[in-house]
């Protein structure tokens, strides 16, 4: 068992709290390591270090800042297998998905390294003669990054890479379920040559470390990914600073009666049970045309029952454990609720005996759109099937939730596909593909209760982590007044 520290001002240090916490392997319940339980004082030190390094870092030319990210990408590639195995051990996703998590970080580092030679502003004509007008991008200053556990390498990369290339300095607070992956990621940035103080890491609870960061007056921006409940607390405590929120989902797949059912089946299995259903974009509702409901259910249950749940390091395993005991209890409480509210359990519905937080892939049918299992984020291997009479009814059901992250439709009808793209209330829409699997050069984020309008990844990731400054240069040698001077052609 290893002991890990905080990273402040380029040094690995102990917390002033003199307290530690443990992280566990969710498949075996064995201890992964001990970590410093940071506190408000540690956050203050980390913010001070980030502030001190800001004047230097923001004046490093962006293409030079980007070189660190290019090096990071190579180091992530070098250590991909080691990081993936450690990640699987720490949060329980199957090894092929853990490799995908690291690959997403590699792609992200490369994409934002490329942005170092762009960071485009706008150039536009002035309404006055002999006057130039354009915009430049500038960093916010010190930014606070708060991450969840379900993508322990990819989500920190989504935040840290654009924040760095834009010239911000950082205090990073990872989830207490995956602190080791966060530390490994920071170690690679140090190896890539990131100067002291530019990135600081404080482990500890959300209430102590997270909230201190959110409330800190010198932190100019918070980027948060996590649950809606925590998101609400953050907004209430942030004061006047920018807050980026990437919250939960209740993502539907609509299956029309003309759909390729075999294709839809593969998409549903991947979307609902990949990462044990612990993705913000996981498929949690199937909205199926009633004409094909029975046929599809039969094929689905047959496949779900054959999914292999267990050792996530074996390539034949399909589904790993849930993250912790709390998550296991939460998922099971929804099984009880589904039965209580009159939905029909088709398969699963209980945990596996023995060590680890394993839950059988669970499918309910004849679910009504307003039942709690069809409304609330469960975050586990749990699927609700809701029959629909026709396309309009399916869209109505899809939109009858307070979240709006990802959605999908399986149809061979181009008109249904385009209507769904327009009418579904979500930030991502897939056609003939599952609700999961976004790419790093496209924006990612949701509407309604999933966020507050910010987006990560792609060019939107640069918007997220930079402020726009507007510049006017008047070379007419006289006072020109916009909107007031009357323009004369001659």
Q: Which residues contact ligand NAD (rule: CB under 6 A)?
A: 146-150, 173, 175-176, 206-207, 210-211, 214, 225-227, 230, 233-234, 246-249, 280, 377, 379, 405
**Residue 50 or 327 with smaller CB distance to ligand NAD:** 327
CB 253, min distance to ligand NAD, A:
17
Alpha-carbon torsion 433, 436, 437, 439, what sign?
A: positive
Marked catalytic residue, from 97, 246, 377, 464: 246
Q: Are 160 and 490 contacting, i.e. CB atoms less than 8 angstroms apart? A: no
Marked catalytic residue, from 161, 166, 280, 312: 280
Distance CA 40, CA 212 (A): 6
CB 19, min distance to ligand NAD, A:
16
**Residue 34 or 233 with smaller CB distance to ligand NAD:** 233
**Residue 89 or 377 with smaller CB distance to ligand NAD:** 377
CB 479, min distance to ligand NAD, A:
49
- Interhelix angle for 293-305 vs 261-273, to 10°? 50
CB 358, min distance to ligand NAD, A:
18
Dihedral, CA atoms, 211, 214, 216, 218, nearest 10 degrees? 160
CB 476, min distance to ligand NAD, A:
48
- 184: its two tokens: 């490994």
- 314: its two tokens: 């074996």
Q: How crowded is the C-beta side of 408, counted as CA atoms within 13 Å?
A: 29
Among this protein's residues, is 246 annotated catalytic?
yes
Alpha-carbon torsion 362, 428, 279, 227, what sign?
A: negative
Q: Which residues pair with 143 in a beta bridge?
A: 170, 221
Distance CA 189, CA 182 (A): 11
**Residue 46 or 247 with smaller CB distance to ligand NAD:** 247
Q: How crowded is the C-beta side of 489, counted as CA atoms within 13 Å?
A: 0
CA angle, residues 237, 228, 419, in degrees to nearest 5: 130
**Residue 110 or 377 with smaller CB distance to ligand NAD:** 377
Among this protein's residues, is 423 annotated catalytic?
no
- 356: its two tokens: 């680890």
**Residue 233 or 317 with smaller CB distance to ligand NAD:** 233
CA angle, residues 65, 71, 76, in degrees to nearest 5: 130
CB 54, min distance to ligand NAD, A:
22
Q: Which residues are part of the catalytic machinery?
A: 246, 280
């Amino acid at each position: 068992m290893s002991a890990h520290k905080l990273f402040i001002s380029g040094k690995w240090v102990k917390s002033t709290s003199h307290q530690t916490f443990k992280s566990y392997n969710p498949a075996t319940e064995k201890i992964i390591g001990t970590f410093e339980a940071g506190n408000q004082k540690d956050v203050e030190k980390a913010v001070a270090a980030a502030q001190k390094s800001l004047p230097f870092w923001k004046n490093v030319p962006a293409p030079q800042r980007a070189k660190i990210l290019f090096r990071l990408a190579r180091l992530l590639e070098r250590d991909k297998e080691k990081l993936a195995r450690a990640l699987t051990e720490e949060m329980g996703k199957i090894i092929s998905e853990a490799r995908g998590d690291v690959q997403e970080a590699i792609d992200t580092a490369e994409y934002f390294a490329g942005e170092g030679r762009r960071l485009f502003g706008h150039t536009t004509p002035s309404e006055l003669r002999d006057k130039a007008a354009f915009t430049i991008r500038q960093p916010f200053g010190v930014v606070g990054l708060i991450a969840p556990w379900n993508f322990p390498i990819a989500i920190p990369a989504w935040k840290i890479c654009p924040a760095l290339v834009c010239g911000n300095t950082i205090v990073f607070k990872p989830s207490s379920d995956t602190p080791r992956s966060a530390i490994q990621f920071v170690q690679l940035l140090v190896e890539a040559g990131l100067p002291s103080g530019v990135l600081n890491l404080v482990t500890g609870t959300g209430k102590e470390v997270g909230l201190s960061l959110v409330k800190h007056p010198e932190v100019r921006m918070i980027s948060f990914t996590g649950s809606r409940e925590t998101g609400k607390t953050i907004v209430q405590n942030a004061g006047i600073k920018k807050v980026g929120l990437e919250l939960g989902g209740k993502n539907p797949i609509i299956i029309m009666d003309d759909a390729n059912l075999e294709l839809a089946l593969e998409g549903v299995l991947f979307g609902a049970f990949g990462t044990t259903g612990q993705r913000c974009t996981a498929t949690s509702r199937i909205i199926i045309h009633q004409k094909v409901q029975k046929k599809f259910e039969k094929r689905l249950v047959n496949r779900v029952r054959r999914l292999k749940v267990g050792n996530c390091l074996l390539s034949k395993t399909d589904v790993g454990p849930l993250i912790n005991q709390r998550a296991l209890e939460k998922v099971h409480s929804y099984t009880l609720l589904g039965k209580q509210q009159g939905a029909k359990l088709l398969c699963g519905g209980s945990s596996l005996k023995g060590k680890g937080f394993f839950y059988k892939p669970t499918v309910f049918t004849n679910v009504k759109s307003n039942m709690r299992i069809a409304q609330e984020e469960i975050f586990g291997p749990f699927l609700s099937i809701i029959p629909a009479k026709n396309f309009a009814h399916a869209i109505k059901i899809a939109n009858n939730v307070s979240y709006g992250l990802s959605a999908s439709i399986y149809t061979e009808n181009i008109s249904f596909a385009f209507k769904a793209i327009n009418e579904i209330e979500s930030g991502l829409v897939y056609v003939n593909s599952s609700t999961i699997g976004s790419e790093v050069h496209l924006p990612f984020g949701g509407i309604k209760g999933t966020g507050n309008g910010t987006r990560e990844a792609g060019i939107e990731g640069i918007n997220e982590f930079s402020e726009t400054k507007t510049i006017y240069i008047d070379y007419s040698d006289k006072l020109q007044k916009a909107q007031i001077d009357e323009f004369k052609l001659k």
